[in-house]
Amino acid sequence: MYNTREEEKIHIDWITVIIYILLVAFGALNIYSANSTPEHSSLFDFKTEYGKQFIWIGIAAIIVFFILLTDANFFQFSAYGIYGIILLLLLALLATGSFTAGAQAWFKIGAFKLQPSEFAKYATALALAKFLGTFDIKFIGKKNIMICFGIFILPMALTLLQNDTGSALVFACFFLVLFREGLSGWWLVLGLYLAAIFVFTILFPSLYLVGFILIICGIVAYFFKSHKQILYMCAIIFVASSVFIFSVDFMFSKLLQPHQQQRILVTLNQDVSEYYKHKATEFSLFKIDTKKKDEKKSKRDYSYNVRQSKISIGAGRWTGNGFNNGTQTKAKLVPEQHTDFIFCTVGEEYGFLGSALFVLTYLFFIGRLYFLAERQKTVFSRVYGYSCASIIFFHFFVNVGMALGLLPVIGIPLPFMSYGGSSLFSFSMLLFTFLKLDANRVHEINRM
């Protein structure tokens, strides 16, 4: 027993561990910056967010310690069990939610709020890895694909029902894992194409869009006149796209309530009045009654976050204002800065040089995880590794993209950095379970 652990310790990927420690520490620094005031500047003031974050970090260390002590086979063995428990917890939340005022995303245990959706990603990663690991085959059949989809769509749906859209979207990252495991890349392309069309339909008059696709298809068809297959493809793409555009347009313009429309528009960083303006043009099939644009105010609250976020990051210039000196940060002008908008603090206090270094470090970290995942000898470890890397990747991409104003405001935390116990625990578990599996790789080799 003693010997095995000794060997495992040697084989743990220290590069990843060091970056993990750096990210957690840097996160704590930024939370301190975002929340400390001259009156509350003591490091261990547990009434403050940063004080609490220190507690969470301590607990996370203990969790990590226990994970490293656990036998590597335990995770594969109990994957379905963990998955089942999380599903039950999510269901239980929905049930309590229906008793109380509205949908809730957490359990309250004493002073702590436990967010099962954070752990659901971990459980889903385990379950998916276990499922794919059971067939040690390269080809996944249609039926199995459906089961794979089911494994992550189930918790995704339950999370969505709690109105936690951001967390629900994260489950889409399992597509990436399936792509690695043999799912055709065309699925990803199709998914991206439909998402793009959906967004453009809302942003531009629908007839413009249809015309644009017609021109593109026409040009392609002209160059490949002799290839009948491509001609058919162009025709199918054009017809299918048009149908999709009109149905989206119809749903959006006619079926949704104005406030629902506005919410989506705001998520897309769109000026509501601009939308109504182009909806009133003759190039729109479904004209909107302009009297509907009453509830304009909600727009401001969403776009406010993005505007403030950009200002805050922009204030950093080359080298930033320095630790604990961000003016926007100190003024608490960006809402949710210590959680979802923690990147603003990085941008403002460490400037372009600091932020760029941070982005590169983080991407190196994720790249390292993909590299580790690829070198796994068992399908279970590999799938789990890809899941782990993809979950962190999706969070990073959406979170930073949102803070930079490139992506719609979707409230998901930046792993290891954002304030919050649930998120820190779940990401630490996710990561160290993988590192434990990776360290155990040697034994897998020996066993083989």
Partner 1 sequence: MERNHKLYIFQITLGVIGLIFIVRLFFLQIVDTSNYFKALSYGSNEVTIYPDRGTIVDRFGKLLVYNDAVYDLMAVPEKVKNFDKVRLCKVLQIDTFDFNQRILKAGRYNKKVASIIYKSLPINIYSQLQEILYDYPPFFIETKIDRRYNIKGAAHVLGYMGELTEKQLKAEKYYKPGDIKGMSGLEKGYETYLRGWKGRKLVLVDKFSKQQGSLAGGKFDSVPTTGQNIISSLDLDLQEFGEKLLANKIGSIVAIEPQTGEVLAMVNSPNYDPNLLVGQTRSKNFGALLMDPRKPLFNRAIKAGYPPGSTFKTIQALIGLQEGVLHPETRYYCSRGFHLGSLTVGCHAHGSPLNLENSIAQSCNAYYCNVYRSILDNPKYESVQDAYIQWSKYLNSFGIGVKTGIDIPEESTGILKKPAYFEKEFGKNWRSANVISMSIGQGQIGLTPLQMCNLSATIANKGYWITPHVVKAIGDNKWLPEEFKVKHKTMVESRYFDSVIVGMARVCKPGGTAGRQGIEGIEICAKTGTAQNPHGEDHSIFIAFAPKDTPKIAIAVVVENGGFGNTYAAPIANLLIERYLALDRVVPTKRPDMLEKMLKANLVGAAIYNLLKVDSTLLKPIIPLKAQ
Which residues make up the interface to partner 1 (CB under 8 A)?
Answer: 37-39, 176, 179-180, 308, 310-318, 321, 325, 327-328, 330-333, 347-348, 351-352, 355-356, 359-360, 363, 366-367, 370-371, 374, 389, 393, 397, 400-401, 404-406
Nearer to partner 1, 47 or 291 (CB): 47
- C-beta separation of 435 from 8 below 8 A: no
Smallest distance, partner 1 to C-beta of residue 19, A: 14
Nearer to partner 1, 277 or 375 (CB): 375
Alpha helix (H) residue ranges in 280-378: 297-314, 327-330, 342-374
Nearer to partner 1, 57 or 334 (CB): 334
Separation of alpha carbons 188 and 179, rounded Å: 8
Q: What is the dihedral of CA 361, 367, 369, 370, to 10 degrees?
A: 170
Nearer to partner 1, 150 or 367 (CB): 367
Could you please report the per-residue DSSP string of 155-176?
A: HHHHHHHTT-HHHHHHGGGHHH
Smallest distance, partner 1 to C-beta of residue 411, A: 19
Return the number of other C-beta atoms located less than 10 Å from residue 388's C-beta.
31
Nearer to partner 1, 38 or 102 (CB): 38
Query: CA quadruple 425, 164, 244, 153: dihedral positive or negative?
Result: positive
- C-beta separation of 409 from 306 below 8 A: yes
Nearer to partner 1, 126 or 315 (CB): 315
Place of tokens 């149905």: 247
Smallest distance, partner 1 to C-beta of residue 172, A: 15
Smallest distance, partner 1 to C-beta of residue 366, A: 6
What stretch of H or E contains 421? helix 421-447
Q: Are strands 112-114 and 107-109 parallel, antiparallel or unpaired?
A: antiparallel
Smallest distance, partner 1 to C-beta of residue 297, A: 15
Smallest distance, partner 1 to C-beta of residue 236, A: 27
